[in-house]
Every structure is written in C-alpha cells, then in structure tokens.
C-alpha cells in the first residue's frame, strides 16, 4: 500500500494562506486509488509526516488540518502532533458515539483545535458543534438555503465558518456575505478573464534580462548591470541569497557576487519568478505565485524521469508560467505574444502536444487527485509513486523557502 500526500491551501478573505489541509490518496497493490479505510489512511499520513518526511516540509510554518476518524480520536492519535501545528478535523460520519465527547473534551482541554467537516444543521451533531472551533460547510453538497441556515446558527455560537469546495469567485463572495472567514477550494485557480485588452506593460528591465538569459553565453556582468536598474529585483535577489535555501557565511559584496553565488540556473529561476510577481495585479493570492514556483520546481525535477535532462530549464519555465493567464487575468495567447519565451514552451502553455506537455499534465493531474489518470501516466513513464511524492515534497520545501 502506498500513500500520496498533497496539501490544499485554506485562505482568508484577503486571499492570504493561513493553513493547509493535508489530503491523502492511497494506492493499493494494483495501483488504484483506495479510500475505503479512513483509519488506515490517516495512520499512513501521520507515519509519512512524522517518520518519512516531517510535517515542516508540508506545513510551511502554518497549521495543518488532518482528518481523524472516530476510532483514531478515541485512541487519542492527534496527541502525536503538537497542538500548535494541527487542527483536528472530524469526519462527517462521527456522531455521538460512546465516550467520543469525553475524549474530545480532553483534547480540547489540552489546547487542540477542532474542525467539524461537512456540517449542516443536524440535531445529532449539536454536541459536536459546541465542541468544535471551526465549522466546515460543503458548497457543492448543500443548497444556498441550507448554507445560509447553517451559517446563521453557527454565527450565534461564535464559531469560525470555513467554506469548502469553493469553485468560483461568485461562491467566494456569497460565502463572505454570509459570515465565512476561511475558504478552501479551487476558485483562485480558475481563469477570470477581464474584458479589457490592455495588459500591464512589461518592464524594460525584464525584457533586457530575458533577452540576455536567452543568449548562448550569458554574462554575469551584463545581468548585474541590468538588475541594478530594478530596486525590487535587487532586494529580492539579495534576500533569497541569504535565505535558508542558499545561505552561506560569506557576505555578498555585489549583485554580480549574488548572481554568481546562486549560479546561472538558479539566477534564471529567481529573475523569471520576480518578473511574474511584478506583473501580478494587486490582490493576487500569494498561493497562486507559490503554486507557480512549486510547479516549476516539480517540472524541472521530473525532467530526468521523463528522460529530458537537457530540457530542465524549459520545464521549469513551463511550470512557473503555467498559471500566468490566471495570475494576470488575461488570455494566454495575448500574454505570450509579448513574452520572449522559447516556442516549445509557448506551444506547451497553449496546450499543443510536444515533449513538454506530459510533464505538466502529470503535475496538474496529481494536484487534482485524479488517481486513475495519474496511475496510467506513472506507469507509462516508469515513475514510482515514491519518486513523485519525494519530488512534490522537495518542491514545496524549496518554494516555501523562496516565498515564506
């Protein structure tokens, strides 16, 4: 049995990431997704977190929501994790079982926070409502009338409302209007194309940098000279060089020195990412930018698995720019007209089949938890689930260091 762990962001009303829910997908002996035993699944997740990977690799310093079954609550399994790093999520099939309330009270007295999942007005859950701190409401399963009725009851009890499975900005606004302050779903990944055809002007600094980076022989002197003209990029570059990911005891004496410390490949990543960040409109969720980084790092790391070592840089750029239409709220074709990117990258971003598209497809399928499609792609390219999980975890860790 294999377990693939993924994380899904939980945002506040300002689109800031305040926590992550850890999602687990199990593969049985024939590599098919299997969710039949929640006890086994949660045990596998905790084993992965505590033994194989470490919770810090997935949490980014934020709290993580983890589902616990009735059996695991009764066994007090949440106490394996610190109270300041976990929210205990109670599955929807927990009711007033014998002794469950006493154990929940004990955990709460020890400082643990509880969230009840898929909550809707139900007398059998009244005690759990009183004991829970966060109430999650499923926006796909329940009608607007049920959601409003539940929200009104929850607000009277001064509980935090979390809207889950939010798929559109309209649902996000509806949830905000009715007192929800935490939001979970893919709504911020959905394209929201603005009517205007006017696009943010690309800074001449970045045009020059991209042109220099595309040369066969790149000059550190030239890169440093161009970089000096952008205070934000200079600050970001120096800040990243001093981050955990790249830290050295030797002090940085110049921009050229910082670029050399990073090396050409890493410098390219930072420059391209800062370009994306400067183009992003005010209010863009940081999680969108971070997901772009995670995709880029995953794509680069998967290059060897797809026997494309010579295309690592292209794959990184493909991943980083794969969400640019959502970030800029513009049509992808229009964006790419003004970007001096390699044609192979542009074609892949436009969905045309080439050697790069399978890598991005694998990353997106894994994000969405489409296990049967994932299993086929992994088998086709002779990639193990363990390798994919390790690449995913390392990519998250790297991105969290770049964007704390």
The domain defined by 204-402 folds into Hypothetical protein af1432 (1.10.3210)
CA distance 338 to 204: 12
> What CATH number is given for 2-189 in this structure?
3.20.20.450
Q: What global pTM score does this model have? A: 0.83
**CB contact at 8 A, 73 and 55:** no
- The backbone torsions φ and ψ at residue 7, rounded to the nearest 5 degrees and listed phi first, read -125, 145
Render each residue's pLDDT in the chain as its tens digit; 404 residues: 456 778 899 999 999 999 999 887 665 533 334 445 556 666 666 666 665 666 777 788 899 999 888 888 888 988 988 999 999 998 766 766 678 888 988 999 999 999 998 887 765 666 668 888 999 999 999 999 999 999 998 998 999 999 999 999 899 999 999 999 999 998 888 765 544 444 455 678 888 888 888 888 889 999 999 998 888 888 888 877 776 566 566 667 788 888 888 888 888 888 888 888 888 888 889 999 999 999 999 999 999 999 999 999 999 999 999 999 998 888 899 889 878 788 999 999 999 999 999 999 999 999 888 888 898 999 999 999 889 988 998 999 889 888 87
CA 190 to chain centre: 14
Helix axis angle for 220-227 and 204-213, nearest 10°, is 170
pLDDT by residue (tens digit) across 229-268? 888 888 888 877 776 566 566 667 788 888 888 888 888 8
The sign one gets for the Cα dihedral 226, 229, 233, 235 is: positive
* Domain ranges for the chain: 2-189, 204-402
Give the chain's end-to-end CA distance (angstroms, integer): 33
pLDDT by residue (tens digit) across 27-44? 553 333 444 555 666 666
């Amino acid at each position: 049995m294999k377990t693939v762990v993924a994380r899904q962001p939980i945002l506040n009303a300002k689109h800031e990431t305040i926590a992550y829910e850890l999602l687990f997908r199990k593969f049985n002996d024939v590599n098919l997704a299997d969710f039949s035993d929640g006890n086994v699944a949660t045990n596998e997740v905790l084993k992965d977190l505590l033994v194989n990977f470490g919770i810090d690799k997935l949490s980014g310093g934020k709290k993580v929501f983890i589902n616990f079954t009735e059996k695991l609550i009764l066994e007090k399994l949440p106490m394996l994790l610190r109270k300041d790093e976990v929210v205990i999520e109670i599955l929807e099939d927990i009711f007033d079982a014998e002794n469950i309330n006493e154990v929940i009270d004990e955990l709460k007295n020890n400082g643990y926070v509880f969230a009840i999942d898929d909550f809707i007005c139900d007398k059998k859950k009244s005690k759990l409502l009183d004991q829970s701190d966060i109430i999650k409401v499923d926006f796909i399963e329940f009608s607007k009338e049920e959601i409003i009725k539940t929200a009104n009851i929850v607000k009277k009890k001064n509980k935090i409302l979390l809207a889950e499975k939010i798929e559109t900005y309209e649902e996000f606004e509806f949830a905000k209007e009715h007192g929800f302050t935490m939001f979970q779903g893919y709504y911020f990944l959905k394209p929201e194309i603005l009517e205007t055809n006017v696009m943010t002007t690309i800074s001449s600094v970045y045009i020059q940098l991209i042109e220099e980076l595309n040369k066969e022989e790149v000059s550190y002197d030239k890169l440093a000279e161009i970089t000096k003209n952008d205070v934000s990029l200079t600050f970001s570059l120096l800040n990243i060089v001093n981050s955990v990911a790249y830290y050295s005891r030797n002090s940085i004496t110049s921009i050229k020195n910082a670029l050399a410390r990073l090396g050409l490949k890493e410098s390219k990543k930072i420059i391209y990412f800062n370009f994306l960040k400067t183009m992003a409109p005010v209010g863009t969720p940081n999680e969108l930018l971070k997901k772009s980084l995670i995709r880029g790092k995953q794509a680069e790391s998967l290059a060897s698995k797809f026997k494309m070592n010579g295309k690592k840089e292209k794959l990184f750029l493909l991943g980083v720019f794969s969400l640019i239409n959502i970030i800029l709220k513009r049509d992808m074709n229009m964006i790419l007209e003004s970007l001096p990117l390699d044609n192979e990258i542009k074609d892949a971003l436009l969905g045309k089949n080439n050697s790069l598209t399978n890598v991005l497809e694998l990353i997106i399928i894994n994000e969405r938890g489409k296990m049967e499609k994932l299993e086929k792609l992994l088998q086709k390219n002779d990639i193990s689930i363990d390798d994919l999980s390790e690449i995913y975890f390392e990519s998250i860790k790297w991105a969290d260091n770049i964007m704390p």
